[in-house]
Amino acid sequence: MSRYTAATDDDRQAMLDAIGVGSVEELFARQVPDQVRLRGELALPDGLSEQEVYGHLRELAQRNVSTEQEISFLGAGMYDHYVPAIVDMLCERSEFLTPYTPYQPEVSQGSLQVMFEYQTAICELTALPVANASVYEGPSAVASAAYLAKLHNGRPRFVVSAGLHPHSLQTLRTYARGFDAEIVEVPLIADGADAGSAEAPDGGRTDVERWREAIDENTCAAIFAQPNFYGVVEDAAALAEAAKQPARGAPANGAGAAPPVVIAQVDPITLGILRPPGDCGVDVAVGEGQALGGRLDFGGPSFGLFAAREEFLRRMPGRIAGETRDVDGRRGFVLTLQTREQHIRRERATSNICTAQALNALAGTVYLSWLGRHGLVELGELLMARTEYARRALEAIDGVRTLYSAPVVRELALQIDGDIPALRRACADRGVNPGADIQALTGRAADNGGLLVAITEQRTRADIDRLVAVIGSAIAQQRASAAAGPDAGAPREAVPA
C-alpha cells in the first residue's frame, strides 16, 4: 500500500475474488503482451515520507533567489506585482481547486459563473464584445489568434511588429510551420530618426509607413504588442487603421479583399491607462494574464486572455461560458458554442485546446474585483509615475541613456555603455536584479547593451534609488577595470554531462 492508495490486503483479496482472477499480476498478464512488459523495476528512488519530501523541495527552493530575496526589476512578460491574500485563499478552496472542466453544469455553477464574470472583465478591459474563458498564456495566445486569422481568411502571411515579445514571435514561428505561413517583420523606428513631436517622440514605435507597405492582399493578420516589448506605447489606432487601409497603389485590400485580422498582444495591467484595443480598431486582443494576481512561478502556470470582435465568435478557441435558465426558470450558466471545439468538431475544430487555465483565470477575476473600477487606473498611474521617476534618475547616470524616447508605462529599455552580463552580475552581488538583458532575449545586434527595467508597485522609490546607485557604480567599475587592462576572470570550464 503506497501513500495515496487505500486498498488493504483484505480489500485486494475481496476485489480479486469479485473479479474472478487470482492476482493483480493476472490482470496485467491477461492484457499486456509479454513482449512489452517492463522487466524489473523502474530505475527511480524509493518513496519518501511527507516530511522528507517537504525537506527536499524546500532545500531545492532555497537554492533559488526569489523576488523576496533581492530587489528585482525583472519583467519582460512576467511581473512581480503584489498578490492579495484573498486570491490565495479563494484559489486554495477545494471547490475551485479540485474539480475539472464543468461538463456537468448542474454541479458546476460556481466555476461556470466565474468564467462568465472573467469574460465580462476581459471584455470590459479590452473594449471587445466577446472573450473566451482563457487560453494557456501570452505567447501561445498570439499563435492561437493567428490560427483564428488563418481559419478566417486562409492567407499565407503574417505581418508582425518587431516590438512583439521575442517569445511571442518565436512561438508564432513554431506554430506557423503548421499553418505553412511566412512571417514578415516590420522594424521599430530607431531613435534619432524620429519624426514625432517633442512631446510624443516616436522612437521605439513600430514604423507605421513600413507596416502599411508590408501589408497586402496576402496578409492573413497584422500583429503588434501594446505596450511593445521595449515598454513603448504604440499608436495602436494608427497601426490598426494602416493595416486596414494599405498604401496607395499597393495591391488593394480595398478592392474586394477584406483587410487582414488586426491582432494586439496587450498587457492587461496597463488597460486602466491606455486606450483599449477595441476602441483602436483591433480585431483580436490577446495577452499574458500573470500580472493580474498571478504568481511568477518561474514562468507558469498563468493564463492567456483572448477577446475579439463579434464576427470572430465562432472561430474563437477554447471554452466559453454563456448564461441561460434551468427548467425552473432560474438563472444559470453553461459551456456554450461547443461545436467550435475539438471534442465535438475534431479536425474541423477552431483549436486543439482542451484543458485551459481556469484556476489562474479565477485568480485574475478575484484580483480585478479587488482592484476594482478605480484601482486599475490608480495602479496604472502609480506605475507610470514611478517609471518616469526611474527613467529620469537612470538617464542621469553617465553611460546610460534610454534606448527609445517614445513614452512608456511600466517598463523601460536602457542602452548602457558597458557589458550587460557583467553589469547584471555586479548588481546582483549588491542585492539588486537590475532587469533583463534585452539582447539575450531578442538576439538582435542592435540590442547589444540593452537592459529592460520593469517597475511594479512593490518597487519603492528607495528601491529605484538603490538601482540607480548600483548601476552607476557597476558602470564606473567596468570603466575602471577596462582602463586597467583586460579582465582576467576566466569563463567556467565545464562540458555537458
Q: Which residues are 408's β-sheet partners?
A: 232
Q: Is 457 in the site for other proteins (CB under 8 A)?
A: yes
Residue 129 in grid coordinates = 464584445
- Residue 209 makes contact with other proteins by CB under 8 A: no
Binding mask 365-404 for other proteins (x = CB under 8 A): xx-xxxxxxxxxxxxxxx-xxx-xx---------------
Q: How far is the CB of 118 from other proteins (least distance, A)?
A: 9
**Residue closer to other proteins (CB basis): 55 or 251:** 55
| 51-80 per-residue burial string, b: 16 or more CB within 10 A, e: under 16 | eeeeeeeeeeeeeeeebeeebbbbbbbbbb
- Cα–Cα distance between 25 and 144 in angstroms, integer? 45
Whichever of 57 and 252 has its CB closer to other proteins, that residue is 57
Return the residue of 97, 195, 258, 482 that touches other proteins, per CB under 8 A.
97
Task: Give the range of 153-161, 206-214, 320-328, 475-483 binding other proteins by CB under 8 A.
Answer: 320-328
407 sits near other proteins (criterion: CB under 8 A):
yes
Contact flag: residue 429 with other proteins (CB under 8 A): no
CA-nearest of 273, 275, 277, 297 to 222 is: 277
Beta bridge partners of 160: 185, 223
Identify which of residues 251 and 301 has a Cβ nearer to other proteins in the complex: 301
User: Quick check: 42 binds other proteins (CB under 8 A)?
Assistant: yes
Choosing from 183, 184, 190, 237, the residue that interacts with other proteins (CB under 8 A) is: 237
Nearer to other proteins, 65 or 251 (CB): 65
Residue 251 or 348 with smaller CB distance to other proteins = 348
340-359 footprint of other proteins as x/- string (CB under 8 A) = -xxxxxxxxx-xxxxxxxxx
- Cβ 245 to other proteins, closest distance in Å? 11
Q: Is 15 in the site for other proteins (CB under 8 A)?
A: yes
User: And the C-alpha cell for 39?
Assistant: 522487466
Q: Which helix (H) or strand (E) holds 286?
A: strand 284-288
Report how far residue 77's alpha carbon sits from residue 267's, in angstroms, rounded to the nearest whole number: 8
Q: Which of 192, 193, 198, 199 binds other proteins (CB under 8 A)?
A: 199
Cis-peptide into 434, omega within 30 deg: no
Q: For residue 204, count CB atoms less than 10 angstroms from its CB and return exposed for 0-12, middle for 13-18, buried for 19 or more.
A: buried
Judged by CB under 8 A, the stretch of 207-215, 265-273, 467-475, 478-486 that binds other proteins is 265-273
Q: How far is the CB of 154 from other proteins (least distance, A)?
A: 12
Residue indicated by cell numbers 480585478: 368
Number of residues that bind other proteins (CB under 8 A): 224
Other C-beta atoms lying within 10 Å of the C-beta of residue 20 = 7
The span from the CA of 412 to the CA of 134, in Å, is 28
Question: Any contact of residue 127 with other proteins (CB under 8 A)?
Answer: yes
Q: Does 439 interact with other proteins (rule: CB under 8 A)? A: no
270-309 footprint of other proteins as x/- string (CB under 8 A): -xxxxxx-xxxx------x------xxxxxxx-x------
Shortest Å, Cβ 403 to other proteins: 17
Q: What angle do CA 246, 248, 249 make, to 5 degrees?
A: 110
Q: From 105, 101, 215, select the one nearest 161 (Cα to Cα).
A: 215
Whole-angstrom Cα distance, residue 450 to residue 403?
Answer: 7
Select from 48-56, 184-192, 412-420, 476-484 the region that touches other proteins (CB under 8 A): 48-56
Compute the chain's Rg from CA coordinates. 26
Of the candidate spans 109-117, 184-192, 395-403, 466-474, the one that interacts with other proteins by CB under 8 A turns out to be 109-117
Judged by CB under 8 A, does residue 59 bind other proteins? yes
Residue 398 near residue 475 (C-beta atoms within 8 A): yes
Rounded to a whole number of angstroms, the minimum distance from the CB of residue 2 to other proteins is 4
State in angstroms the smallest separation of the CB of 316 from other proteins: 10
Binding flag, residue 204, other proteins (CB under 8 A): no
Beta carbons within 8 Å of 433's beta carbon, 6+ residues apart:
65, 70, 71, 72, 73, 74, 424, 427
The region of 211-219, 321-329, 467-475, 480-488 touching other proteins under the rule CB under 8 A is: 321-329
d(CA 341, CA 356): 13
Instruction: Please give the Cα distance from 90 to 368 (Å, whole number).
Output: 14
Among 184, 250, 422, 428, binds other proteins (CB under 8 A): 428
Q: How many Å separate Cα 477 from the centre of its chain?
A: 36
Distance in Å, CB of 95 to other proteins, minimum: 4
